[in-house]
Amino acid sequence: MADEFAYEVYKTTGTFPKEEMFGIVSQLRRAAVSIPTNIVEGYSRKGDKELTRFVNIAIGSLAEVEYLLSFSFKLGYLDESSYQNLESIRSQLGKLLWRFYKKISG
C-alpha cells in the first residue's frame, strides 16, 4: 500500500504547475517515496528495534505528505476527487503503519 500511495502521489503531482516542480512537487514526492523506502530499509536491518525506528520515520513522512496534500488542495493544485482519493489511501496506510508500529515496538 505504501508503494501504491507513492505511485499515486507521483502521478497526481505531474499535473501541478511547472513552477512548483522544485517546490511542493519535489517535497511531496520525496516524502511519499520515503514511506516505502524506509519500510524496506527497516526490514533489511536486523531486529525489531531497527525496524521500529524506520517505521517511525515512515510515519513521520506520511504526516508530512498529509500536510502537503492539504496545502496543495487549498492552493487549487488538486481537485476534490484527486485529493479525496489520495487522502483515502493515506488514511488507510496510516492506520496500517500505526498498527504495525505498535506491534513491533512492544
What pLDDT score was predicted for residue 49? Answer: 92
Domain 2-11+22-105: CATH superfamily, name plus number: 23S rRNA-intervening sequence (1.20.1440.60)
Contact of 39 with 100, CB cutoff 8 Å: no
Query: Rounded to whole angstroms, what are the CA distances from 9 to 23, 34, 58, 101?
Result: 15, 12, 15, 23
What pLDDT score was predicted for residue 11? Answer: 96
pLDDT for 18-73, tens place per residue?
Answer: 999 999 999 999 999 999 999 999 999 888 899 999 999 999 999 999 999 999 99
Domain locations along the chain: 2-11+22-105
Mean pLDDT of all residues in 2-15? 97
Considering the entire predicted model, what is its pTM? 0.93
Q: Model confidence at 97, in pLDDT bands (50, 70, 90)?
A: very high
CB atoms within 10 A of CB 78: 22
